[in-house]
Structure 1
Amino acid sequence: MKNFLGFVSFVLLTQGAGGILHEVTGGRFNLWTVVRRIGFLDGYEIYACVLLLVLAVAVGAASDSVGPRD
């Protein structure tokens, strides 16, 4: 479970950072960002990417607190 949450945290982090880079650089990082492909987020891409970064930190912290099963 710890490895899975770490992977999810990594994916959220890369998508959030890639989305912010896509918006800041004018579209250079458009191959691997998911936020720009979601239609109802038009105009709110930066907010969604910041939310992804916050979720990445939260899931990463949760993965550190998960202990082994007994």
Structure 2
Amino acid sequence: MKQFLEIVGFLALVQGALGLLHSITGWPRGWGLVQRLGVFDGYEIYVSVALLVLSFALFAAAESRKPG
């Protein structure tokens, strides 16, 4: 369970960082999930920040779990 939380946290961290990078600079085009989903049009920065916060929460939850 700890590894699963770490993997999901890493994916959320990458998607949040790519979303912010794309919103601020316009690069890279189309790599992030936030940009591909039309539901988030106009809210890309908020969703990206939420993904970053979620990733830190998942990392904290993973650290509180016992290995295995």
> Does TM, scored on the shorter chain, surpass 0.5?
yes
One-letter code aligned to 2:44: E
Instruction: Indicate the residue corresponding to 1:42 in structure 2.
Output: 41
Instruction: Indicate the residue corresponding to 1:30 in structure 2.
Output: 29
Q: Structure 1 runs of 4+ off > 4 angstroms?
A: none
Distance 1:33 1:62 in 2: 24
One-letter code aligned to 2:49: V
One-letter code aligned to 2:21: L
Is 1:12 paired with 2:25? no
Aligned length: 68
One-letter code aligned to 2:31: W
Identity of aligned residues (%): 51
Distance 1:29 1:57 in 2: 23
Which structure's CA Rg is the greater one? 1
Q: How big is the alpha-carbon RMSD for the aligned residues of Structure 1 and Structure 2?
A: 1.2
Residue 32 of structure 1 aligns to a residue whose secondary structure is coil
Distance 1:68 1:45 in 2: 35
TM-score, normalised by the number of residues in structure 2: 0.92
Higher relative contact order (CA 8 A, sep 6+): 2
